[in-house]
Structure 1
């Protein structure tokens, strides 16, 4: 799993228990999954279709740094399926894991659209072409 994004937990990210608000974390995960999928599928019209069960295993507190990791588990005809794990860099504990996030490539009319991708690509490989 590749961990590219880090977030610093600030006071506005906390719930009444003074730990990371789950909704804020899900917002960050959804945004990261969208950015990752848009880059992989080379289509800015890529949207979230599905997230499987979300398992909160630990938390984070103000001042902690977390990392969001994603990996491709499947390329569909119009979709890309990702797995996600978020970990606390300070405590080294896994905060959340999501087995399946499905992102779908859309055309200009908002209909699912084949993307033609079959494997993960990296920017360095695209630049070499």
Structure 2
């Protein structure tokens, strides 16, 4: 059985979800509802977190969700998520969304997001998670820059709580 002290590669948590954008997923502009996409992002991030921690995971924050380009009716979207950095019981999870025009194969990155997931123990309280280490250049870049994003999250929490 693995202990929370074991290290795991970022790729061990990699999660990919593919969806076709249907009319009920779009607004009156013929583009995908942001809220629907946020649901997919949250689910994909939760699965990546559970794969890493091998425990239940809840979303503690969504730091950023950058909508870079619209996603249109009939396009295929692919969400890819993985844990970029871990702290005691929390994990930063990166999610990238690409859209594809299925008839031409043209792909583009449409959304990027960073979420924080917290692993829960059997008592429902935050539980330690294994460290994570990068293997690819993209993983290294995100792992190295995660400390700064973590500090920004902590500062935001301090300001909101008044402490």
| Global fold match (TM > 0.5) | yes
Aligned partners of 2:31 and 2:72 also within 8 Å? yes
Q: Deviations over 1:14-36 (max 9, x none)?
A: 01211100000000000011111
1:109 to 2:109 alignment: no
Larger Rg, first or second structure (1 or 2): 2
Once residues 110 and 4 of structure 1 are traced to their aligned partners in structure 2, the CA distance between those partners, rounded to angstroms, is 27
Alpha-carbon distance between aligned partners in 2 of 1:77 and 1:64, rounded to the nearest angstrom: 39
Matched, 1:83 2:124: no
Measured at CA, do residues 3 and 79 of structure 1 come closer, stay the same or move farther in structure 2, by a change above 3 Å?
closer
Counterpart mapping for 1:37-116 below 5 A: 37-43=49-55, 45-90=56-101, 91-98=106-113, 100-115=114-129
Equivalent pairs, count: 117
- Per-residue deviation, 1:61: 1.6
The CA distance in 2 between the partners of 1:87 and 1:3, in whole Å, is: 14
Aligned-pair CA distance for 1:55: 1.2
Gaps of 5+ in 1: 121-129
Question: Runs of 4+ in structure 1 displaced over 6 angstroms?
Answer: none
Hey, what's the Cα distance between the residues in 1 that align with 2:16 and 2:127?
27
Question: Could you tell me whether the CA contact under 8 Å between 1:30 and 1:48 is conserved in 2?
Answer: yes
**Measured at CA, do residues 10 and 19 of structure 1 come closer, stay the same or move farther in structure 2, by a change above 3 Å?**
same
- Structure 2 gaps of 5+ residues are 1-10, 134-163
TM-score (normalised: structure 2): 0.66
| 8 A Cα contact 1:74 1:81, kept in partner | yes
| 1:7 Cα deviation after fit | 0.8
